[in-house]
Amino acid sequence: MNRFFWKRLIGSLGVAFLSLQLTRLLFYLNLRSYFEADAIELLHAFLIGFEFDMVTIAYLLGPFFLALPFLKGGKPELLAKWFFLIMLAAMNLLNCIDAEFFKFTARRSTDDLFEFAFLSDDIFNIAPNLVGHFWYLIVVFGIISLLTLAAMNKILETGSDHPKLMMIHSLNLLPIIALLVIFSRGGFHPIPLSIIDASKVSPPHLNSIALSTPFTIIKTLGKPELPVFEFDENEIADLDPIVYPDAVIDSTSLKGSNVVLLIVESLSTEYVGSLNGLGVTYTPFLDSLFQHSLVFENGHANGHRSIEGIASIAASIPTLMYEPYTTSRYAENNINSLPSLLRKNGYHSSFMHGGNKNSMNFESFSSQADYDLFYDRDDYPFPDKHYDGVWGISDHYMLAQCIEEYNKYPKPFFSTIFTLSSHHPYTIPEDYQNRFPKGTLPIHESIGYADQSLREFFQKASKTEWYQNTLFVITADHTSLSEHDQFQTKDGSLRIPIVFFHPNDSILTGSTSKLVQQIDIMPTILDLLDFESPYFAFGKSAFDTTNSGFSIAFKHDQYQLLRNDQLICFDGNKVSIIYDVVSDPMLHYNLIEDSAVNYADNEAFLKGYIQNYSVALNHNSMTFEAWSEMQK
168 has pLDDT over 90: no
554 in a structural domain: no
State which amino acid sits at residue 528: L
162 has pLDDT over 60: no
286 in a structural domain: yes
Answer with the one of 488, 515, 549 that is the final residue of a domain: 549
119 has pLDDT over 60: no
11 has pLDDT over 60: yes
- Taking Cα atoms as reference points, which of 258, 276, 219, 210 lies closest to residue 60? 219
Averaged pLDDT for residues 278-290:
98
pLDDT of the residue at 339: 97
Q: What is the largest CA-CA distance in the chain?
A: 91
Averaged pLDDT for residues 359-383:
92
Averaged pLDDT for residues 227-244:
85
Q: Are residues 76 and 198 in the same domain?
A: yes
Band of pLDDT at residue 158, cut at 50, 70 and 90:
low
127 has pLDDT over 60: yes
Kindly report which listed range (16-30, 213-227, 354-368) carries the lowest average pLDDT score: 213-227
Sign of the torsion formed by the C-alpha atoms of 70, 73, 74 and 77: positive
State which amino acid sits at residue 547: N
Q: Are residues 210 and 311 in the same domain?
A: no
The percent of residues in the chain predicted with pLDDT above 90, rounded, is: 70
Band of pLDDT at residue 124, cut at 50, 70 and 90:
low
Q: Are residues 343 and 429 in the same domain?
A: yes
Q: What is the CATH number for 398?
A: 3.40.720.10
520 has pLDDT over 60: yes
Kindly report which listed range (88-97, 184-193, 295-304, 434-443) carries the lowest average pLDDT score: 184-193
Kindly report which listed range (161-165, 329-333, 507-511) carries the lowest average pLDDT score: 161-165
pLDDT of the residue at 338: 98
* Cα–Cα distance for residue pair 523/547, rounded to 1 Å: 12
Q: Are residues 176 and 274 in the same domain?
A: no
Give the residues across from 296 on adjacent strands. 498, 512
pLDDT of the residue at 115: 65
583 has pLDDT over 80: yes
629 in a structural domain: no
Q: Are residues 214 and 309 in the same domain?
A: no
Q: Are residues 275 and 196 in the same domain?
A: no
* Cα–Cα distance for residue pair 195/214, rounded to 1 Å: 11
Most confident of the following: 101-110, 221-230, 304-313: 304-313
Residue, of 4 and 425, whose pLDDT is higher: 425
Residue, of 5 and 403, whose pLDDT is higher: 403
Q: Are residues 512 and 467 in the same domain?
A: yes
Q: Are residues 251 and 381 in the same domain?
A: yes
* Cα–Cα distance for residue pair 411/257, rounded to 1 Å: 9
117 has pLDDT over 80: no
State which amino acid sits at residue 335: I
321 in a structural domain: yes
277 has pLDDT over 90: yes
Q: Are residues 205 and 259 in the same domain?
A: no
Which helix (H) or strand (E) segment holds residue 568: the answer is strand 566-570
The answer for residues whose C-beta is within 8 angstroms of residue 227's C-beta and 6 or more apart is 572, 614
Cis peptide before 425 (omega within 30 of 0): yes
Averaged pLDDT for residues 489-498:
97
216 has pLDDT over 70: yes
Sheet holding 558-563, edge to edge: 550-555, 558-563, 566-570, 575-580
Q: What Å distances lie between residue 283 and 51, 123, 364, 431, CA to CA?
A: 45, 29, 32, 19
- Taking Cα atoms as reference points, which of 24, 531, 556 lies closest to residue 248? 531
234 in a structural domain: no
Q: Are residues 216 and 253 in the same domain?
A: no
Q: Residue 107 class from Cβ within 10 Å (0-12 exposed, 13-18 middle, 19+ buried)?
A: buried
Q: What Å distances lie between residue 603 and 110, 335, 611, CA to CA?
A: 26, 27, 12
Q: Write out 60-72 in H/E/C secondary structure.
A: HHHHHHHHHHHCC
- Tell me which residue range forms the domain holding 138: 3-220
Q: Are residues 205 and 255 in the same domain?
A: no
Kindly report which listed range (169-173, 395-399, 527-531, 593-597) carries the lowest average pLDDT score: 169-173
Kindly report which listed range (13-27, 42-56, 248-262, 383-397) carries the lowest average pLDDT score: 248-262
Residue, of 3 and 492, whose pLDDT is higher: 492
Tell me how many domains the chain contains: 2
- Taking Cα atoms as reference points, which of 397, 422, 317, 414 lies closest to residue 365? 317
Band of pLDDT at residue 407, cut at 50, 70 and 90:
very high
Averaged pLDDT for residues 232-249:
80
- Per-residue pLDDT tens over the stretch 415-436: 999 999 999 999 999 999 999 9
- Per-residue pLDDT tens over the stretch 382-405: 999 999 999 999 999 999 999 999
Q: Are residues 288 and 319 in the same domain?
A: yes
Residue, of 225 and 254, whose pLDDT is higher: 254
580 has pLDDT over 80: yes
- Per-residue pLDDT tens over the stretch 462-481: 999 999 999 999 999 999 99
Which helix (H) or strand (E) segment holds residue 566: the answer is strand 566-570
pLDDT of the residue at 140: 93
Answer with the one of 549, 574, 599 that is the final residue of a domain: 549
Averaged pLDDT for residues 619-629:
93
Q: Is the backbone of residue 254 left (phi > 0), alpha (psi -120 to 50) or beta?
A: alpha
pLDDT of the residue at 6: 85
Residue 289 contacts residue 509 (beta carbons within 8 Å): no
Residue 476 contacts residue 313 (beta carbons within 8 Å): no
* Dihedral of the alpha carbons of 339, 341, 342, 343, in degrees to the nearest 10: 80
614 in a structural domain: no
Answer with the one of 526, 549, 572 that is the final residue of a domain: 549
For 203, half-sphere exposure in the C-beta direction (CA atoms, 13 angstrom radius) is 17
- Per-residue pLDDT tens over the stretch 552-579: 999 878 999 999 999 999 999 999 999 9
Averaged pLDDT for residues 106-128:
68
90 has pLDDT over 70: yes
309 in a structural domain: yes
556 in a structural domain: no
Averaged pLDDT for residues 222-238:
79
Most confident of the following: 159-173, 232-246, 514-528: 514-528
